[in-house]
A = this chain, B = another copy of it.
């Protein structure tokens, strides 16, 4: 209820602060007798970890996962899987200048107002670093989904106004910006370097596609599959919009255009994004998130301190000029959790 747990049957609870001793996650409800090792999880962790390329923050963290429970002799037992990720490079001395100041675009002001106290080191619990725990959980879900023929791929569709023109899923992991269009990837990387040199940051769009999801997943009426996806994706810190299928473009459409007709047994379009009435239709599920520019920038900004007094701030240090490439595995993780949970709900009711 207090917001650190996600899911119905597959229940994921994360804990940990950016500069505390460790991040952690408990994944409850995992199907027993699945082969699982730390290596299975580490793969995705490495795609999210800082310092992986010239366009990410240079903070150095291995993000090494340690499984504490729920796996025995290499297999899941059906009991909760507890995982921790120790923080290494936390340089705790750095924070005196931001201790009392609300950084623009960050949660400092609101955490202080909500709790009357906050761990000011690197954003504490509100740091994007929390998503490491999500990726660990998502890696477990993805492995199970893959074994059932369900595949999830996210990629960077837009950086600034630069948009991928073609979608080649095999291209994604071949460039550091995780764009499925090789040519556009280069333009995006160039753009990010420029923005970074300009002590600024830039937003973008990440798209995710789920292949192989059978029809029937999702719970009407409040927990429609698209509602759960929207919840999951909007819970990622930097996300400011979630679209399903044609999304925002539907505003300008007519019904005769947006309805996906079926001809010769096949949907001839996918404006719905694979979800009708909140339930998967068997088409590819397509969702998109708009990611705001990283709020940490090395320019002078005006704000207030904890006492309400005016203050200026320049945020030096190690930050991602565009967070999109590192959000890709987080989006995949959140979608995996939603889809596997929906699958389990459907099993429960169908065969009940």
A338 to chain B, nearest CB (A): 11
* Segment with Cβ contacts to B, from A170-178, A180-188, A340-348: A340-348
Docked complex Cα distance between A215 and B102 (Å) = 14
Contacting residues, chain B, for A78 (C-beta < 8 A): 114-115, 117, 349
Interface status of A212 (Cβ within 8 A of chain B): no
A220-B4 contact in complex given A251-B291, A347-B351, A352-B343, C-beta closer than 8 Å: yes
In the complex the two chains form, is A235's CB within 8 Å of B278's CB? yes
A window 186-224: CB within 8 A of B: 195, 200-205, 215-224
A322 to chain B, nearest CB (A): 10
A window 56-75: CB within 8 A of B: 66, 68-70, 72, 75
Interface status of A50 (Cβ within 8 A of chain B): no
B81, B117, B276: the one contacting A105 at CB < 8 Å is B276
A136 to chain B, nearest CB (A): 13
B26, B235, B250, B258: the one contacting A15 at CB < 8 Å is B26
A124 to chain B, nearest CB (A): 7
Docked complex Cα distance between A23 and B69 (Å) = 8
A281-B110 contact in complex given A158-B251, A262-B304, C-beta closer than 8 Å: yes
A11-B15 contact in complex given A124-B72, A261-B302, A280-B110, C-beta closer than 8 Å: no
Copies held by the complex? 4
Docked complex Cα distance between A278 and B107 (Å) = 8
**Chain A binding site: helix, strand, loop or mixed by DSSP?**
mixed
Which of A3, A21, A299, A346 has the most chain B CB atoms closer than 10 A to its own CB? A3
In the complex the two chains form, is B251's CB within 8 Å of A69's CB? no
Interface status of A317 (Cβ within 8 A of chain B): no
A248-B241 contact in complex given A68-B15, A78-B115, A111-B277, C-beta closer than 8 Å: yes
A26 to chain B, nearest CB (A): 5
In the complex the two chains form, is B1's CB within 8 Å of A9's CB? yes
In the complex the two chains form, is B277's CB within 8 Å of A106's CB? yes
A290-B70 contact in complex given A1-B9, A224-B234, A303-B261, C-beta closer than 8 Å: no
Interface status of A125 (Cβ within 8 A of chain B): yes
Which of A114, A118, A124, A224 has the most chain B CB atoms closer than 10 A to its own CB? A114
A window 8-58: CB within 8 A of B: 8-11, 13-17, 20-24, 26, 28-29, 31-33
Docked complex Cα distance between A297 and B82 (Å) = 31
Docked complex Cα distance between A203 and B272 (Å) = 13
27 examples of A-B residue contacts, CB within 8 angstroms? A2-B11, A3-B28, A5-B28, A11-B13, A22-B82, A32-B116, A77-B125, A78-B115, A84-B84, A105-B272, A107-B276, A109-B215, A110-B275, A111-B279, A160-B251, A203-B251, A227-B235, A240-B243, A240-B244, A240-B248, A241-B248, A251-B291, A255-B296, A256-B299, A263-B310, A271-B292, A343-B352
